[in-house]
Amino acid sequence: MSVTLQQKNQHLLWRAGFGVDLSAITTASTLKTKNILSTLFDKYKETPILIDVADESLKKMYADVAENNSMNPLEKVMDKFSKEQRQQIQKQSREDIKKLNLKWLDEMVTTNNPLREKMSLFWHGHFACRDQNIFQQQNLLQIIRTNALGSFKDLLFGVSKSAGMLAFLNNQQNKKQHPNENFAREVMELFTLGRGNYTEEDIKEAARAFTGWSFKLGGEFIFRKNLHDDGSKTVLGKTGSFNGDDVLNILLEQKQTAKYITQKIYKYFVNDVVDKDKVDWLSKRFYNSDYNIAELMKDIFSSDWFYDEKNIGAKIKSPVELLVGIRRQLNITLNKPEVQLIFQNALGQVLFYPPNVAGWPGGKNWIDSSSLMLRLQIPRLIKDDEELLISTKTDDDVQMGMMEKLYNKMQIEIAKKYRISAKINWADYIKLFEKVERNNLLNNLKSLILQTDNKSINNSVVENNINTSSREEYIKTATVALMSCPEYQLC
């Protein structure tokens, strides 16, 4: 089949954002793709506003303790809190991280800068961090959102010096004569070079360079010189009295870093099946641009091959992409937004709770028999305002504090608590199709909602789930039926 202008534009909007929002539906089939691309890149240099959800009592508690202990090691500062205060901090932080999750989701749904949030979601998985401190998590998110389309060097340095990442990868235990290799290993394996492109000796030497990297109670980076090993080190063939900054610069000098990042971006934004020649071309330009992320993404989204038929509808939507895409397209407001936490957990992607240091594997890993069934039910559950009764994963952190036994015992009560309770802007949505003849409605909706070959969709199966009593009901039920097709899981 030949790729239509509408398919190209929707392909771009799904990959560079979260699909077609309600305001852009009518223009997706008429605007030139290059104009949409230009609009997407217009605002990326704007500094995003910090998403601050930390409880005021928590802020005051930290401020009171930090005021007279700003230069003390973090371990000694934490001793200033009583046992009860530490428990309160942990409990409130968990609650606030839930709020941060939902607030960021809302930003993805309502933003006029979807490319920044989509890139931030990518980096959120690349720089996976599972930290229970709300201040550290929201500061790390701000670093990622601020630098998502800027310089990869600035992003790498910012993340590497963030309290959240230093804590998660145990670098506060990395001290002279007692080096901890965890931070250095992940910086090489996951953040820059990729596995197999360094030696164990490189990790040992780099770990020595990162000794003394720490942070204050408020999250500010601090270099503790008395804990730093200032001896000579050899990393990736270079020798000197390196510190952490030196090592990061050495890693950025390696063309393998540009190739590793480019390949990962290609798999996330283009196709799980990597075209080696295209990645080589992109990575050389990325390296020569001094790691300009925006220029790399422009190279991808402006290339003719990005819009090849084989790349359209070829990727499985992540749970977050799926949820945000549905909400954006139908302009959905959730009266009980916390239900999205349950959806995320059941589908395997809870923001700020990656499964491990490597983040979410993505691709076909998003789908299994149970998650697919729930994915197909979500549009109907939202439309019909049904109760949500599902089994979630056994990780209590990800379950947001609901212990497994308690959850199973009180399943009915939990289900009632998490009624979807959504408001859909049907009036504005239906109005968009007022000039479409009734016999063309289904094909028109299919072109808008699905990115796969529409001819493969069995109309009779879809029509069995459509209410034909009125034009309004036809559009509503046809939209939900199409969003409930397996093909809607692809973008």
Rounded-to-integer distance, Cα 117 and Cα 487, Å = 24
Buried b (16+ CB within 10 A) or exposed e, 362-394: beeebbeeebeebbeebbbbbbeeebbebebbe
CB 296 within 8 A of CB 265: yes
One-letter identity of residue 160: S
User: pTM of this prediction?
Assistant: 0.94
Task: Write the CB contacts of 121 (distance below 8 Å, at least 6 apart in sequence).
Answer: 108, 318, 320, 321
CB 128 within 8 A of CB 359: yes
Residue 464 pLDDT exceeds 80: yes
pLDDT digits (tens, 9 = 90+) for 172-209: 999 999 999 999 999 999 999 999 999 999 999 999 99
Rounded-to-integer distance, Cα 203 and Cα 188, Å = 8
pLDDT digits (tens, 9 = 90+) for 43-80: 888 899 999 999 999 999 888 887 766 656 666 777 78
* The pLDDT of residue 394: 54
pLDDT digits (tens, 9 = 90+) for 342-360: 999 999 999 999 999 999 9
pLDDT digits (tens, 9 = 90+) for 240-295: 999 999 999 999 999 999 999 999 999 999 999 999 999 999 999 999 999 999 99
CB 332 within 8 A of CB 425: yes
Rounded-to-integer distance, Cα 400 and Cα 345, Å = 9
